[in-house]
Structure 1
Amino acid sequence: MTGNIDVVVVGGGYAGVMAANRLTQRDDVAVTLINTRRTFVERLRLHQLVGGSDDAVVDYREILAEGVRLVVDTVTRIDGAERSVTLAEGGTVGYDYLIYAVGSGSADLDVPGAAEFAYPIASLEDAQRLRPVVNAAPRTAPVTVVGAGPTGIETAAELAEAGRTVTLVCGRVLGPYLHTRGRRSVAKRLARLGVTVLDGPDAKVTAVARDAVRLGGGRTVPSTVTIWTAGFGVPDLAARSGLSTDALGRLLTDETLTSLDDVHIVGAGDSTAPSDLPFRMSCQAATRIGAHAADTVLARIAGEQPAPINLGFFGQCISLGRRAGIFQFASRDDTANGLYIGGGPGAKLKEFVCKHTVKHLAVEARKPGSLTWVKDDTRQELLRAKRGEAPATR
Structure 2
Amino acid sequence: MDEIPWRVFGTLGVALAVGLLIGLERGWHDRDAPEGQRVAGLRTFGLIGLLGGLCALLADAYGGVMLGLGFAGLAATLIVAHFKSSWRTEDYGITSEVASLATFALGAAAVAGHPAPAAAGAVITATLLGLKPELHAWLRRLDRQELIAALQLGLISVVVLPLLPDVGYGPGGALNPYALWWLVVLITAISFVGHFAIRVAGERRGLLFTGLAGGLASSTALTLSFARIGREHAALHPWLAIGVAVAASTMFLRMLVEVALVSPGLLAAAAPVLGTMALVGFGVAGAVLLRPRRAPDRPAGIEGTRPFQLKVALQFAAALAVIGVLSELAGRWLGDRGLYLLALLSGVADVDAITLSLARMTERGLSSEVAVRGMVIAAMTNTVVKSLMVVVIAGGRMAWQVALAAAAMIAGGGAALLLRLGIA
Name the larger-Rg structure.
Answer: 2
Q: TM class, shorter-chain normalised?
A: under 0.3
Superposition TM-score, scaled by structure 2 size: 0.24
Superposition TM-score, scaled by structure 1 size: 0.25
Name whichever structure is richer in strand by fraction: 1
Name whichever structure is richer in helix by fraction: 2
Which fold has the larger relative contact order, with Cα–Cα distance below 8 Å and residues 6 or more apart in sequence?
Answer: 1
